[in-house]
A = this chain, B = another copy of it.
Amino acid sequence: MDPVTMVGLDIGATKMLGVAATPDGDVLAEVLATTPVGGEEVVAAAASVVAELRRRTGEALDGTVGVGIPGLVDAGRGALKHAVNLGVDAEWFPIGDLLAARVGAKVAVDNDVNAAALGVAKITGHDDLVYLSLGTGLAAASILDGRLRRGVRGAAGEIGHIPVDPAGRKCQCGQVGCLETAASGSAIAEAWPVTGTPPAQAVFDAAADGDLRAVAVRDEFAARVADAVRVVALTVDPETVVLGGGVAQVGDRLRVAVAHALAEQAADSPFLRSLDLPGRLELVPLDVPVAALGAALLAEEPR
């Protein structure tokens, strides 16, 4: 029985993944479950995952359970808002307290992007990075000088809602031309409707096969992701920018496409070139459950 074994849960819209891991980030056990609908139901399912991790590791796992979850999180209170799949919207839902009561351990909660950034920092050894989550939407998380930057209202990293084109598309947030309207999985899905295959995969595959329309969709997407990279580089100037989220499943060709777009944008700007943004890009490690591991690391983060 090892009292320092960490426990983390990555609770997504459709699935939740629990891990037990060593302090070095080596995964000892993984448990995958379906995410039910409804706050109480999610808490019950999460508690079952923790119970299963206890069974598989044979350990008490009575330290802190970390939870990464989409939505607006008040990390100090362990409360959640605006999480559609939980049926949680305008009211704060005390997921931390409810889960703590179920599992008999402390619970630390943060949003999934912050959790993933912590996991990436641990796995890659970088202590100064911005993690870009390219999923349905676009969000970022920053680890600056080794510290997670949440912001005073938990809004740090909401870069998806920075408008960069007055002639752009209306965003669901009410603004126009937000980064997210072009640099997200949803934007790809809209430009390249497919069934069966994830749209990003389909576009990158078709582009590799020489479909010029797919090349155009891919390159436009990559250029808008490059815009997002530029925003974070010129604001906090991190050592590394890590591309992650569902779209990153297309593999290193995502990094290549965005690096290419960054180089294009710098072609006429000695200033931008001097910052070497392409050289700072990395793809999230795809063989490690970074979000669940990062959730486990929430136990050590000040809240």
Contacts and interface: CB of A to CB of B under 8 A. Distances in A.
Contacts of A269: 173-175
Contact of A142 (B236, B265, B270): B236
Interface stretch (A7-15, A109-117, A160-168): A160-168
Contact of A275 (B155, B164, B231, B265): B155
Interface in A142-159: 142, 144-145, 147, 149-159
Contacts of A157: 234-235, 237
B231 A173 contact: no
A128 interface: yes
Interface string A260-303: 00000100111110110000000000000000000000000000
Contacts of A77: none
Interface residues of A, number: 46
Contacts of A231: 162, 231, 235
Interface in A233-251: 233-239
A106 interface: no
A233 B235 CA distance: 10
8 contacts: A155-B233, A157-B235, A157-B237, A158-B237, A161-B272, A163-B164, A173-B271, A235-B235
Interface of A: 128, 140, 142, 144-145, 147, 149-159, 161-167, 173-175, 227, 230-239, 265, 268-272, 274-275
User: 7 closest A-B pairs (Cβ-Cβ)?
Assistant: A151-B237, A174-B269, A156-B237, A155-B237, A174-B268, A173-B271, A152-B239
